[in-house]
Amino acid sequence: MSGASMWMEIIFDMCYLALVWALVVLMVRNRARVSKADWPVAQRMIWAFALLALGDSGHVGFRVVAYALGDLAAKPVIFGIPVSLVGVGALATAITITFFYMLMVDVWRLRFSQPLGWAGWALLAMGAVRLAVMALPQNQWELTTAPYPWGLVRNFFLMVQGLGVMALFFRDAGRAHDPTFTWVAIMIALSYTFYAPVILWVDKAPLLGMLMMPKTLAYLGVAFIAYRAFWSGAAQTAATPAAAKA
């Protein structure tokens, strides 16, 4: 990676972390602004984005530390054991993004007064299976780049999770005339549009890794949309299914 690309990534990473943590702090500090009816959904949004920020602090934060140590392959010795900063960071964000989407399933359930049903339980199961798959030694988390077959396998379950949540939001936000979650669904769709080429072809075309930047911005978009909706009073509680049909 060229020096210019490295510095662009570092600056982007630090700005992203500052923004996402600032939004989480604002969500917590301004929770009194959230209406009582919207609080259950808003609370889960706080948890979801706190997890996202925590995992990404490991993911992109450790990449910055690795650059500072000279290379992404840097393995500082901690308690006598060489530790791959990039590998540990990738594992951290892989865990937290899985729980992020499990929380989003519950956001959907609460926002639209829906039972979990087969779709909700299936998406939660995808998360549980993904966590189990990530525990297997074949993932080789000590590597800077994930082994290609296992990267595909573990990300398959994430794709099902994310696109399933997106589909539920699109369907029920449309029925309830809920622009907030229509836009959330659009941001999730954009995030996977940018992420899919990275999963599939980054080993053959490393520059595709740059698509992680707009993918990350899509998640920030979800956070901004949620903050505007629940913490500024810009959106009202979604109609119940019965009201939406009236």
pLDDT of residue 21: 96
Among 70-74, 125-129, 230-234, 235-239, which stretch is predicted with the lowest mean pLDDT?
235-239
Taking residues 214-237, report their average pLDDT.
85
> Phi-psi region for residue 117, left (φ > 0), alpha (ψ -120 to 50) or beta?
left
Count how many domains the chain has: 1
How confident is the model over 142-170, as pLDDT tens digits?
887 778 888 899 999 999 999 999 999 99
Residue 242 counted as domain residue: no
For residue 234, what pLDDT band results from cuts at 50, 70 and 90? low
Residue 20 counted as domain residue: yes
Residue 245 counted as domain residue: no
pLDDT of residue 120: 96
pTM more than 0.85: yes
How confident is the model over 55-71, as pLDDT tens digits?
999 888 888 888 888 87
Residue 101: give its domain's CATH number: 1.20.1070.10
The full DSSP string for 203-229 is TT-GGGGGGHHHHHHHHHHHHHHHHHH
**Is the model's pLDDT at 237 over the cut of 60?**
no
Taking residues 129-134, report their average pLDDT.
95
Residue 199 counted as domain residue: yes
* Cβ neighbours of residue 50 closer than 8 Å, sequence gap 6 or more: 24
* Cβ neighbours of residue 217 closer than 8 Å, sequence gap 6 or more: 16
Residue 80 counted as domain residue: yes
Nearest Cα neighbor of 210 from 3, 9, 7 is: 9
Domain that holds residue 10: 3-236
Q: What sign does the dihedral 190-192-196-202 (CA atoms) show?
A: positive
pLDDT of residue 243: 36
Residue 134 counted as domain residue: yes
Q: Return the number of other C-beta atoms located less than 10 Å from residue 203's C-beta.
A: 14
Residue 243 counted as domain residue: no
Residue 241 counted as domain residue: no
